[in-house]
Amino acid sequence: MSDLKCCVVSCDRPLDAAYWEAQYEAKTTGWDLGQVSPPIQAYVDTVADKNSRILIPGCGNSYEAEYLLEHGFTNITVIDIAPTPVAVLKEKFKNNPNIQIVLGDFFEHQGNYDLIIEQTFFCALPPTLRQKYVWKMHQLLAEEGILAGLLFNRMFESGPPFGGSKEEYQKLFAAAFDFIKMDLSENSIAPRANSELFINLKKNRQVVVNLYELEGITCSGYMETITEKILAIDAVLNASISSNFAEVLIVSTNEIETKILKDVIAYDEKYTIKKIKN
Ligand SMILES: C[S@@+](CC[C@H](N)C(=O)[O-])C[C@H]1O[C@@H](n2cnc3c(N)ncnc32)[C@H](O)[C@@H]1O
């Protein structure tokens, strides 16, 4: 059984507001396409309801929001943790009542959206936050809500961006979302050709999605054992532990009593589990 250190890639530099702001100030924004991403443009063209409540997290310069506005959408919210792009957007869209521009942390954001657009936000987050991302997306979406956009289908040597694979995403989003689409994108920009998946994931409103804080787990072997034990609980549909073993995402048909989870992992007394409040 090999002992894994926590967040191998990202512990050495926190990917916080200061990190992202520094990239904007230094103009080291290689991710910025300078235009709406073509697969997202094509998808937006299929959205009939111009009053859909739309969120774009980690929006950066958000050419996607601009495209939405140009095409008559009336209820757009964008959020970014870095002040510079937020200030640019506020100036660009001042006096436009159809867009709300928020400076803040996506994970603190509250709202209810019909559509959330993913464009190089997931890959910008430390991979340790992937379970939290699924939990938060599920919370922010309305009953029939859709998470649509692009995820990398390749790995990078170091990040951000942090890559991934279709197999990983299928496991991560399973049960919390219904998979309408998760296929290789056919109209990515040339440098990203054949390396992006277009996702169209519909919130599964029949399930309960909770995130729990874990303590005491230090290696992937224990992680697998605990995942299996949680999956064996009646009503649990999916369980996914973060790569630093600090959190577990549990999708179930009904609320699971914390005592049941505590008993399941208490085969070693150093393991503890605590529900994270919304
Ligand atoms: C790789 S950039 C992508 C920007 C934009 N989506 C684009 O494609 O040009 C990632 C963005 O996410 C923002 N970001 C990172 N963590 C965030 C968080 N927790 N909440 C909100 N925004 C965040 C960064 O400031 C940055 O603008």
Q: Distance (Å, rounded) from C-alpha 5 to C-alpha 139?
A: 30
25-70: pLDDT as tens digits: 999 999 999 999 999 999 999 999 999 999 999 999 999 999 999 9
Q: Distance (Å, rounded) from C-alpha 128 to C-alpha 156?
A: 16
* Residue 3 reports pLDDT greater than 70: no
Q: Is 79 in the pocket of ligand 1 (CB under 6 A)?
A: yes
Query: 21 C-alpha to center of ligand 1: Å?
Result: 10
Helices 166-173, 130-140: axis angle to 10 degrees equals: 50
- Mean pLDDT in the chain? 93
CATH topology for 208-275 is Alpha-Beta Plaits (3.30.70)
Query: 266 C-alpha to center of ligand 1: Å?
Result: 38
The domains of the chain are located at 17-203, 208-275
Strand, helix or coil at 24?
helix
Average of pLDDT values for 223-252?
Answer: 95
Contact of 81 with 105, CB cutoff 8 Å: yes
* Residue 9 reports pLDDT greater than 70: no
CATH topology for 17-203 is Rossmann fold (3.40.50)
Helices 83-92, 17-25: axis angle to 10 degrees equals: 60
Q: Is 121 in the pocket of ligand 1 (CB under 6 A)?
A: yes
Query: Ramachandran region of residue 175, left (φ > 0), alpha (ψ -120 to 50) or beta?
Result: left
* Residue 219 reports pLDDT greater than 90: no
- Confidence band (pLDDT; 50, 70, 90) for 12? low
DSSP notation for 130-175: HHHHHHHHHHHEEEEEEEEEEEE-S--SSSSSP---HHHHHHHHBT
Give me the torsion for CA of 84, 104, 133, 122, rounded to 10°: 0
Question: By percentage, how much of the chain surpasses pLDDT 90?
Answer: 87
- How many C-beta neighbours within 10 Å does residue 170 have? 11
pTM of the model: 0.95
Query: 80 C-alpha to center of ligand 1: Å?
Result: 6
